[in-house]
Structure 1
Amino acid sequence: MVTLILAGCGGVGTLTPIPEGIPPGPGLPVPPIDLDAPGRSAAQLTDWAEGQHALGIPKIALEAYGYAAAVLARSRPDCGIAWTTIAGIASVESKHGMHGSSEPGADGAVRPPIIGIPLDGGPGVAEIKDTDGGRLDGDQVYDRAVGPLQFIPETWQRWGVDANGDGFIDPQSIDDAALTAARYLCASGGDLKSEHGWQRALLTYNQSNRYLRTVRDRAAAYSVGRQV
């Protein structure tokens, strides 16, 4: 079974098969870069990201996803997380930092900040009392998911990492958020090259089979160079 995406403008167009199966494909390989270069090391992936403009992902965001996957390839080679998985999650969570009027800037910071609804136990919403004194989400009563990868403040405080060398661990930074997500997924799923590991990681990120399937479909589309 395959998912079909209609490509082309006008006419019948071309039906391009999007591979099924879990995990989704790894996509275009990330070229070797100096992961420890000063400043925003992800900027070394500009040419790689610009070469995939057909994906419809902001260049800054795609650089961040590629850098995160490259860092984990070195620190957790057993995990095997691909940039396509990070991109699939970011697409669902915030349209790659472009939710509402927000967008990622040249420094990777998403402006205006993306802050979710209060987790107050309403219909379809978990109840999570404030864990950060409102420092990250501005809410001193309930927690709210923050940033382009929509982290709960408590989770961010445990896993957050500075990925762009600016000295701050910022959930509104697409760089910090992408690398934090990659670390969290690898810790949660173990071997993301396996079906079981990938599913476990995604269900830890969001306990919804529908969410898992949507991320899989989008990541699989990116893996063959298609926009979603």
Structure 2
Amino acid sequence: MLLVSVALTATACIELPWESQDIPEDVPPGPGVQQPQIDIHASGRTADGMRAWAEPIAEQTGIPRTSLEAYGNAAEIQRQQYPECGIRWTTIAGIAGVESKHGRHRGSDVAENGDIRPTIRGMVLDGTNGNYEIKDTDKGRYDGDPEYDRAMGPFQFIPETWANYGVDANGDGKADPDNIDDAALSAARYLCASAGGDMTTRAGWEKAILTYNQSRPYLIRVRNHANAYSINVRY
């Protein structure tokens, strides 16, 4: 079973003073402002090509600019390589918003190269407190725990899933679950695979999100975040 996600926060979204617009309930969520076409094969951090696009959206949504660049980069790579999937940056952002506040959970920060510091780790998956029990699969290589697995990084991958889907997206030659560029593209690829290759339908989108986390309330939270970002509203 390829479970990726262990949500870090469980509080419901509350009405905020800047939420002056009604948030849609579309499934799949709206596409938001289209990310620009870039050379996805360029050397270095290709997400830097998203900067001009990301800056105004970051200001309106409160998402860190570097995180937004990562989401746009992941969506554009998927658009060029697997257009049939149809994943949108808003969905990628919705997952990260729920999982880690876009890499800022418990005071973590997103560096210019996408690294998250301090690193984000979920609870020990030892079967207590309602958690799944997942014995260690990576000898602590990724999550630092040689006894049980823990969810890692801004997209909360478990080590086994990261080993299968983790990719390098910031051009440093390594796949790092604690780098938001790498994690965003890896999540996009996982979601597309989980959807059966098509996230443009309600059935495909919901299947992908429920594979990421087998919880209907979780799906609704991701939907709400993604739809808010689609109209440049904070959530």
Partner of 1:221: 228
Q: Aligned match of 2:38 in 19, 33, 45?
A: 33
The residue identity in structure 1 corresponding to 2:221 is: T
Note the C-alpha offset of 1:7: 4.9
Counterpart of 1:23 in structure 2 is 28
Q: Which of 135, 140, 146 is matched with 1:140 structurally?
A: 146
Q: Deviations over 1:112-164 (max 9, x none)?
A: 11111100001210000000000111111100000100000000001000001
Moved over 6 A (4+): none
Matches within 5 A, 1:13-162: 15-52=20-57, 53-162=59-168
Q: Which letter does structure 2 place at the counterpart of 1:40?
A: R
For residues 92 and 232 of structure 2, the distance between their equivalents in structure 1, rounded to whole angstroms, comes to 15
Partners of 1:22 and 1:5 lie apart in 2 by: 21
- 1:205 aligned residue: 212
| Cα distance in 1 between the residues matched to 2:110 and 2:26 | 31
Instruction: Deviation per CA, 1:12-49: give whole Å up to 9, x if none.
Output: xx841211221110100011111111100000111111
Match of 1:145, SS state, is strand
Q: Which structure: larger Rg?
A: 1
User: Matched residues, percent identical?
Assistant: 57
Question: What residue in structure 2 maps to residue 11 of structure 1?
Answer: none
User: What secondary structure, in the 3-state scheme, does the structure 1 residue paired with 2:22 have?
Assistant: strand
Cα distance in 1 between the residues matched to 2:129 and 2:85: 36
CA distance in 1, matches of 2:121, 2:17: 34
* Separation of aligned partners in 2, 1:119 and 1:218: 26
CA RMSD for the aligned pairs?
1.5
Whether 2:192 is the aligned partner of 1:186: answer: yes
Deviations 1:141-197 (A, max 9, x none): 100000100000000001000001101110000000000000000000021110000
**Higher normalized contact order (CA 8 Å, seq sep 6+, divided by chain length):** 2
Q: Which residue of 2 aligns with 1:196?
A: 203
Please report how far the alpha carbon of residue 63 of structure 1 lies from its aligned counterpart in structure 2 after TM superposition: 0.2
Structure 2: gaps of 5 or more residues: 1-13
Tell me how far apart the structure 1 counterparts of residues 131 and 22 of structure 2 sit (CA, whole Å): 35
TM-superposition CA deviations, 1:60-99 (whole Å, max 9, x none) = 0000000000000011111100000000000110000001
2:176 matched to which residue of 1? 170
SS at match of 1:180: helix
Question: How many Å separate the matches in 2 of 1:43 and 1:112?
Answer: 22
What TM-score, normalized to structure 1?
0.94
